[in-house]
Structure formats: structure tokens, C-alpha cells
Structure 1
Amino acid sequence: MGDYDSVFLAYDVRGTVPDQLDPGMCREIGGAFAEFARREEGDVDTVIVARDMRPSGLELAAAFVDGVTGAGVDVLDIGLASTDLLYFAAGRLDAPGAMFTASHNPAQYNGIKFCLSGARPVGQETGLEWIRDRARHGTEHVVTPGRRTEAELLPEYVAHVHGFVDLATLKPLKVVADTANGMGGLVVPAVFADLPFDLEVMYPELDGTFPNHPADPIQPENLQDLRARVVEVGADLGLAFDGDADRVFLVDEKGEGLSGSTTTAIVAAAVLQRNPGARIIHNLICSKAVAEVIREAGGEPVRSRVGHSFIKQVMAETGAAFGGEHSAHYYFRDNWRADSGMIASLVVLERLSVAGIPLSELRRPYERYAASGEINTVVGDQQAVMEKVAEAYSSGAQDRLDGLTVDMGDWWFNLRPSNTEPLLRLNLEASTDEEVDLRVAEVRSLLTGG
């Protein structure tokens, strides 16, 4: 039996199978989630369940379904799906949902992402703790269990994704998508099937053992195959999806990757063309260029903490049309504020089609600064070290929206504590790579006591 505390994280359930997460736990978690959904929403009669291609998903999802039906709630099983397909189902059908996936983690992991009806997020402070505690103490089965039925929602999802662009503007661009044996292998061909693009899919087989490379495109080494293939075949765009296909990283025709900030800025400008004056959310480790682009396009930038539950909450509070994270999550108001790598991909392809220029040129106005990337440093006392850094840079503008952000005028940084490890995460931006290196060394000397 695994440890509930070790697998209930800030935004989802995740752990290695079976030592941290096993079918017995998933059965109790299913019952607890059914109770939680009824507690939050009243008369809930159905929970939607989906899974990715990991081998352990079949048994874990089946146990979860037993727990939900044992609590007297029906299950609509949509089978293999990307996470954004599950969010679509929860929005379109206005029902709570559970997605079995461990996203970009290695094959031995699995997990569960939850949402309430309308794809509303469930995080640590909005239900995960309650579900954890209820599951740990055991749930009671009712006399009349719920029923399990199946449904195929992929065609409806495809039509929904297509609705975010003007299909008539799309040009026959060459696209290479590396789906890394993840769920992109299901949804990418379906979305592109009736579009004018020339699509090549790398590693399309659904294989949760990830035989070619990890489905973690934020790591540069996992983009090597895609970058080489884009250049080899003369493609206009490369798309790299993670395991559950909710995130996407872009590669231009020269094989050079785009940061999540650059893609956020490109998509934000497109969204503002359709929604003049709209609010656009960006998390606080995005490049300063993102807020600048939003203002230049007539929009109102709104900063958010890092993490999907925070982005979605701020979107709901502000009515924002779009939100982007540096980690390559892209959220759309008209997608029930849920993130979708597929929608973001089509929006960028529409921009390329209309602009009639290569992505290497299209990206240029959106890339204005040099960035460090996220640098992790092990520290003894996270809070004490952060206060030491704050004092050292007391002459700069500071805020504590998420960790410590310091703006020194021509350079800035954010320092955030990890929720699970004794780490501080540093993101720093300046005008040049040389300035970045200098300032990173300066800040890290404070972190390490050097």
C-alpha cells in the first residue's frame, strides 16, 4: 500500500506504480472524488474518466471507476485521451472528470489530474487535500452502485479545436510533430486530418514505455530528433508534445526552439486581434517581452503565480481571453479556461499562414531579452535565504506574488521555493547573454553563501 501524502501534490496525484500508487488506493480515491464532486456541486450523477497510454493506466483507471460507481455515481469512460480532450469533455458535458496520466514523467509513474464540471481545476487548496483525507480513511459503498458507459468524443473535440482559427486562411505548410509515443499520437493526426498542412508525425505509436525518448520537451535533449528532422525535410514548423499532449514546444524552420514566453506572446497577439482590449494572463516568470507585446497589441497584461490552478483562477476572476506560462501551458477562455497545446499550435499555424514569412522571422519581434532558464539550487533554509537575497537587492522593486521577484530596471529575477524539495528556483532575464551570466553568478553566490 502506497503513501497518500507522497502522491497528493500541489496540482494532481502522481507517483511510481505500484510502490507509491496502486489499484487499491485508486479505488478509494475514486470513491472520495465522487463524494467530493457531490459535496461541491450537489447532484452529480456522472464522472468522466480518461487515461493516457501508460501500461499501468488500465488497471488503475478500472479501480478508480470501481470506486466512483461504488459511491453511487455513474462513469462515462472516454478511454484513451489527451488531457485537453478530457478537459473538453468536462466542459462540453458539464461534468467532473479524472485523467490518468503522469504527463512528462518516466514510464514507471502514473497519476490523476482532476477537474470539476466546466473543467474547473482541483488543486491542493481547492479539493485535493479533502480527497486525500477521505480516501485515506476509506469510503463507503452504496447499496445501488453507478453504471459505467463508454463514449467517443474525439470528433467533437477536433471540431472544437478547429473553431479557434479561420480555416480558410490556412496554407499548405509542412509540419513535423514529435508526439514522443504519447497521446499526441492520437489527437494530432485527428486534428490535422482535414486541414491543408503536410503533416509528418514522429514516434506516433502510443507506447507508455517511451522507447524513443522521454516525453518531456522542456528538456533540450528531447528536442534533438525533432530539430534535426525539421531541417532535414525543410519543414515550416516543428511541434513537440509531452506525454499527455497538453503542452507543446515549437521549433522554427531552422531547427531552433521557441521558449514558452515567445509562444505566449505570439498567441496573445493573435487572441487580441479577435478580442480587442482583452485581458491576457502571463505567469510571473514569463519574459518581460510578453507584457510589452500585450500592451502594444492593445491588451491588458495580468501577472499570475506559476501553476495551472492559479492561472485558471485569475482568468475566471478577470475574464481574461488567454493565459500563457513559460512552461508551455496555454489557456483559452473559450476552452473553459483550460490549457491546450493543440489549440495553441493551430493559432501559431494560422499566424504563419497569414504572415507569409518563416517562423524564424515571425518570432523576432517577440524576443527582446536574454534569459537564464530555470536554475535549481539546493539550500538549507529556503525562507532565510530568500530574505537574505531580498535584503541584498533592497534597492530594486520587489513583490512576493510567488516567491520573491526583484526588478533592477535593466534586469530582473524571480526566486521561488520548491514545494517538494529543499530547492530555490531562479529565473533571471537581462538584455544580453553576458549580462545574464554575470547576474546569475551574482545571485547564486548569495544562495550558496559563496
Structure 2
Amino acid sequence: MTIDLATIIKAYDVRGTVPDQLSPEVARAIGAAFARVVAQPEGARQVVVGHDMRESGPELVEAFTAGVTAAGMDVVRIGLCSTDGLYHASGALDAPGAMFTASHNPAVYNGIKLCRAGARPVGQDTGLSEVRELAQRLLDDPAGSGTDQAAPGTVRDVDTLADYAAFLRGLVDVSGIRPLKVVVDAGNGMAGHTVPAVLGTGAGLPALPLDVVPLYFELDGSFPNHEANPLDPKNLEDLRAAVVEHDADLGLAFDGDADRCFVVDEHGDPVSPSAVTALVGLREVAKELAAGRTPTVIHNLITSRAVPDLLQAAGATTVRTRVGHSFIKAQMAQHDAVFGGEHSAHYYFRDFFFADTGMLAALHVLAALGEQPHPLSVLAEMFSPYVASGEINSTVADAAAARERVRDAYAAAYPQADVDELDGLTVAHWDGHPQWWFNLRASNTEPLLRLNVEAADEDIMVKVRDDVLSLVRQAEDA
């Protein structure tokens, strides 16, 4: 029975269990469709393909490669890489790309992140829907696919790690900072491959004033120590303990494909990704202003209000957008934004092909910390003036009905509040007193509603959080 690709091809990537959902047959069909729908129409001559440390990666890459070459296009395989390593290769080679990864998902999963030449996004509104439709037809009727060409494409293997490391080092100079001790938790993911190259001398680059303490650098897609998902607090426990144990200046945690970076301070306390967004954003804004340009920064709608507050005060224009990397990247390019940040610790840079890279964000944090004498906790406090709930998930039978209950209740109680539905439901009482806002979004894949609340003080945040959760869970608790 042929799989329905709508179950694994979502808003901005491919994600499924192997091999029942994402099999070599499916990967081959997606490769052929990607070549015909995305790569060939934009005049590309080759597709660059990489994969993370999951055991299923090489076989899926081989099948995807067969689909691309059968469509008459060449393939450049860069082997093991982080997702931002694939984006770098796509930008440097000016070629469309495919990264085989399921990011932080458990070992049984794999997936594909696709991009156009120059690391430009491929999402549901920028070609992914068409890729899914053609791949489905190829699976349903292989004999009538018409993908085989008289002259199939060629395949070559290229190692781009050293170029990736040198490129990042060229964007942020940390060679002159004060010595720092940093614990890095790779979670057995791709940071174990990239951190020695970028922060160490693994790519033949000069040594930096960094003492790197490695945690779980062994590449292992079964994730034997903990899931490579730093969004879940339990997966930060080892890093937090190690930072204190080693008397380190900070800790860094990367997810499985190492495109996201989470930061903890010298006490082992997590630094909000919104604070990192503000910190890095201000550095990029200052650089733009010094060059005589007017900076624009993108932030998604559930980052802290401190982000637009601080960046606008520094002279930047800020643009609020929905959650999701393909949406952020599109806005980055549309506005020629110098930087973009998300609550999930995705950080985007114009100098990195408008794409996200956790490693470049980490270099900025190291530079910001090492260029001044204060500990990271003091530095981070400057960018965290408000109180946030963090993301709270509620399992609901009818997400739409729950959201409408919340909307109706708050429209009646706070008629002066701003309400929008750019991405889920956002209700903001930020221009009144007391100051608060919340966003309630449905999961793309599960029967969940995700709540984020922020307020000017703890008591107000707790009240809004509890009131909204009571409304959301009303039917489930009945």
C-alpha cells in the first residue's frame, strides 16, 4: 500500500518514521520530484545533499540521489553535516539542497529539510506542496513517472566542513576575547562533528581562547544519553551540572542536527532564547548602523516583547512574523533583514544566506561575553526584563473550540486588548496596565494547544497563565 505523503510532508519539511513512513522508495520519489519541481525550473545544474548521524541516513540519501540523477541532475554529496552546514554548502555552491535529519526526534525518525539555491526556503507556499503532489504521483504510478532521462546525472563526494568552519570564523572574531571555559553538550548529535571544527582546531584553524569541555560528542543516532532536544528542560540537566562542576563561564546545548543552540549561564541557569535574540540582534544592529545602513530584525510572535523594545530603541525596524523557519527565512529575504530570532533557539543571519545557524549564534554569545568582564548571568539579565511562562502544552479533543472559548472570554473581559490570528490566537494587553500578552497555537502534528504567556511581573503572568489554561482544559476536565 502506497503511503499518503500528506502524513509526512508538512508545512516546512519532511518528517516520518523509518521505514514505514519514510522509506528508500519514498526518498527516491521525493528526490525526483524535488529535481523537477524546484531545481530544474530555477536553472540549477546540481543538488547538494547531506545527512546527520542517524543510521537510516546513508540509505535514504542514496535513494534520494537516485531520484535526482534519474531526473538528469548532478548530485554533490557532502556526507555527515549539520543542517546549517548544508545551508552553507547550498549558499557557497549556489545549489538547491536536501538535508536528511529529523532534528531532535527519536531515533526511529528521519526527515528531509529542502532548500533552493542559496539556502532559500522550500515550504508549503514555496514549492513543498508541489513536491509532495508530484512525489505522490510517482509513488502511485512509477511506470508513468517519466523521470528517467537518456543522460542521468553524476554524483561526486565533497567535504565542506573546513570551508563551513572558516566561513563562520570570518563572520565573528573571537580570537581576542578573554579566555572562557565553555561546556558543550552535543547530545550525540552533529555538534560533536562541527564544534571541534569551529571552536577548536579540527578544521586546521588557529586555536581560540576557549577551553571546551565536551559532553556526548560521540555521533550516535540512538541518543544513548538523552534526547537531543534542548527545549525539554530534562535534556539540559547534564549540561547544567557540568557547567557548575567545571566552574565554566557558560554552557551550550545543540539539538540533533545542530542548527539550534541553547545557552546556560555560569550558574547552570538557562538563558532565554529571547534574551539571546536581543543580545545577538543588538550586535548585528550596531554593525549595520556603523556601516550606514538601516537595520531590520525579524522575530516570531512568541519571542519576548523585550526583543522589539530593545531593538527599536537601538535604531532597528522590527518585523513580527509567524513561527516556522520557512516563514522566517522568507521574511528575512523580503525585508533584507540583518538578523532574525525565534523562541525555539533558531537564529537567522543575512550574512549566512538568510538561513539559521546555531553555531554562528554561539560565536556571537561567546564574543559578547568575552569582550566585557561581567558573567553571563549579569549580561543576560539586561535582556530579560519581563516574566515568561515558557511553552505549555495541553492535550485537547477540539483545539478550535478551546481556542474560541479563550477568544470569547478575553474579548468580553478585555475589550481594549489587541487580538490577532497571525499564528494561532494572540491577545495582548501590553499598552494597558497591567502588561501581559499570550499566544495560543495548535500543533501541526498532535492534538495539542501550545500556550505562551508573558507579563511585566510574576503575579500577572501566573494569573493569565492559569486563567487561559482553565479555559483551554475546561471540556477535558469536565
TM-score for both structures, normalised by structure 2 = 0.91
The SS at the match of 2:271 is: coil
The letter for the 2-side match of 1:437 is: V
1:321 is matched with which residue? 338
- Structure 1 stretch 28-37 or stretch 422-431: which is displaced more? 422-431
The 1-side partners of 2:407 and 2:15 are apart by: 33
Shift of 1:270: 1.1
Which residues of 2 match residues 4-23 of structure 1 at below 5 A? Answer: 4-23=5-24
Residues 1:179 and 2:186 are matched in the alignment = yes
The offset of 1:167, in angstroms, is 3.5
**CA distance, structure 2, for counterparts of residue 327 and residue 40 of structure 1:** 33
Deviation of the 1:418 alpha carbon: 2.0
- Specify which of 419, 422, 445 is matched with residue 447 of structure 2: 422
Q: Which amino acid aligns with 1:273?
A: A
Looking at structure 2, the residues matched to 64 and 255 of structure 1 have their Cα atoms a distance apart, in angstroms, of 42
User: Match for residue 379 of structure 1?
Assistant: 396
2:26 corresponds to which residue?
A: 25
Residue equivalent to 1:215: 228
- Separation in structure 2 between the aligned mates of residue 80 and residue 168 of structure 1, nearest angstrom: 27
- Give, in whole Å, the separation in 2 of the partners of 1:210 and 1:167: 31
Corresponding residue of 1:121: 121
Name the SS of the counterpart of 1:265 in structure 2: helix
1:156 to 163, 180, 195: 163
Q: For 2:58 and 2:4, how far apart are their aligned partners in 1?
A: 21
- Contact 1:100/1:112 (<8 A) preserved: yes
Task: Measure how far apart 1:9 and its partner are.
Answer: 1.3
Question: How far did 1:370 drift?
Answer: 1.2
The 5 A counterparts of 1:268-307 are 268-276=281-289, 277-307=294-324
Offset, 1:422: 2.9
Instruction: Please say if residues 177 and 199 of structure 1, whose CA atoms lie closer than 8 Å, have aligned partners that are also in contact.
Output: yes
Name the SS for the 2:320 alignment partner. strand
Q: Percent of aligned positions with the same letter in both sequences?
A: 54
* CA apart distance, 1:155: 1.1
Q: How far apart in 1 are the matches of 2:285 and 2:198?
A: 24
> Does 436-445 or 97-106 show the bigger shift?
436-445
Gaps of at least 5 residues in structure 2 are: 139-144, 201-206
In 1, distance between residues paired with 2:21 and 2:38?
24
Does 1:132 find its partner at 2:139? no
The residue correspondences of 1:411-450 to structure 2 (distance < 5 A) are: 411-449=436-474
3-state SS in 2 of match to 1:271? helix
Q: Is the 8 A contact 1:238 1:251 kept in 2?
A: yes
Alpha-carbon distance in structure 1 between the residues aligned to 2:111 and 2:457:
40
**Structure 1 position 161, deviation (Å):** 0.5
CA distance in 1, matches of 2:225, 2:465: 34
Alignment of 1:16-415 (within 5 A): 16-41=17-42, 43-138=43-138, 139=145, 140-193=147-200, 194-276=207-289, 277-394=294-411, 395=415, 396-409=417-430, 410-415=435-440
Letter of the 1:37 counterpart: V
Count of residues in correspondence between the two structures: 449
Show CA shifts across 1:81-126 (max 9, x none): 0000000010111100000000000001001000000100001121
2:388, 2:174 → 1: CA distance? 35
Give SS of 1:166's match.
coil
Q: Secondary structure at the match of 1:419?
A: coil
Q: SS state of the match for residue 371, structure 2?
A: helix
